[in-house]
Amino acid sequence: MATADTEMAHRNYCVVFIIFALAIVQAVGYDTELYETKPCDSNACFDKLHGSLGDCSCNVDTIDYFNNVKIYPRIQSLVRKDYFRFYKVNLKKECPFWADDSRCAMRYCHIKTCSKESVPGYENGYENEEHIDESPATKYSKESQSNCDSDTDHDPDLGYLNMTISAASQHEIAKWKAHDDALENFCECDDKDVDAEYVDLLLNPERFTGYKGPSANRIWRSIYQENCFRPKANPYVSFPFVLTSDLSNMCLEKRVFYRAVSGMHTSINIHLCSKYLLSEKTAAFATSPEGEWGPNIEEFQNRFDPSQTFGEGPNWLKNLYFVYLLEMRALAKAGPYLEKEEYYTGNAVEDEETRDAISNMLGVIYSFPDHFNESSMFNGGSQAADLKVEFREHFRNISRIMDCVGCDKCKLWGKLQTQGLGTALKILFSNKWNSPESDLHLTKLPVRHKSHERLQRTEIVALFNAFARLSDSIRQLEYFRIMLRSHQDKRVQPFLQCAHGTI
């Protein structure tokens, strides 16, 4: 009897132990599923990428056609113009949040900067943001001015103007300006820094450089866990993203913030997958300075397949479309302002072509029927005003985090795309860009605002290049869809032939 009781107790102990072990395995496996599950060989990434996007009245299929047929060829041609290919940026700023010396050592991480003299139009006012025809202004030259001392009616003592400002006052005035800028700008602008340099974007394309690991992961983990709004604490340390099922517990403004950041992140990931370093050697086995670059299907699946991302991959792809609509809406709202810009580089023929291309593309954007509607956001008195301040400060922090990227080329494109999105948010949500006289259908910015609400040159360059990156990502998705379908067909075909007795 004692033996039977002992065996029963032992059996019960084993059952409890097995149940406990299974529970641990399931809990640990759920948190590490992102890294341990083998990606499937189907089009699972695209199965849910259709229909409504949510938080706007558009759908994926409409955007695919509109972008790939109408926008993509126009914007890609536009950003190759001299005005948009040179971007001024400070890549030497220290990370303000943590000490990090884990720099990317691969040669593909480095960029080629430009001398000021090589930038078209620089010598004639490029740096000063404005180009003005100087011919009528010769009367203001030093040679044209008379000497006041020779004027018998002029008393220097009576006309004395005290221009001195104490150091303390200058410091306070600088604080005032910083405060005023912070009220409207969503990004840190560093193009006026001493260390800022011009970069030719065509010579430094965005692509996978080999920058990865803890340093790269910390960038996005900090963005999502510390600067994105969250409905609740995320228990999965290895998965810092907000689950789509939790987004419904967030207000519209916080959802828009998360989806915009997620969409930008998705776009960057697609660029890395489509321009992946496949080999550092050419077909002749000789080392190539540039290496061999191309699409990497496996990398794409690792980043977006539902089995690798808690089922979130397709939702991240939808967020790409969402931020595309948001930035396109900003272009439409500021359209009349942008159509009046000079886009000066000193080459009169190309400058005219650039203005015509801008007008043509904006005309196409105006025709899109389902623009993002920002007017439904930040309505609700002081609480909404406080939320807008928090919204802006969170994004400014993200722009600062880009200075922590340990790869110069990654930092360049991260800062550019963040500034582009920040400029779009500035257009959409800064009060100075709203007007009761705006077009009722598109609520475009009236042209009269141009005189007192000028965008900086780097903001315009970043805005169009960031939108071009989103457009390219949506186009690349079509290529990946075709490649995955072809890849799947090649795997299925031998099985079908065997089943029909042909092998």
Binding annotation for FAD: 207, 209, 220, 262, 265, 303
Q: Specify whether the CB–CB gap between 423 and 455 falls below 8 A.
A: yes
Work out the angle between the directed axes of helices 381-401 and 408-429 (0-180°, nearest 10): 160
CB within 8 Å of 454: residues ≥ 6 apart: 129
Give the three-class secondary structure for 333. helix
CB atoms within 10 A of CB 169: 10
> Would you state the structure tokens that stand for residue 38, as one six-digit string?
């083998």
| Cβ–Cβ under 8 Å, residues 243 and 312 | yes
How far is Cα 489 from Cα 142, in angstroms, rounded to an integer? 76
Picking from 67, 65, 66, 44, the residue whose alpha carbon sits closest to that of residue 315 is 44
**Which helix (H) or strand (E) segment is 277 a member of?**
strand 276-281
Contact assessment for residue 40 and residue 307, using Cβ atoms and an 8 Å cutoff: yes
45: annotated active-site residue: no
Binding-site residues, please?
207, 209, 220, 262, 265, 303
The token pair that represents 122 in the structure block: 């620089």
- The single residue of 45, 104, 189, 410 carrying the catalytic annotation is 410
The question of whether 114 is a catalytic residue gets the answer no
Q: Which of 104, 109, 407, 498 is catalytic?
A: 407
Tokens encoding 454: 């000028």
Catalytic (active-site) positions: 407, 410
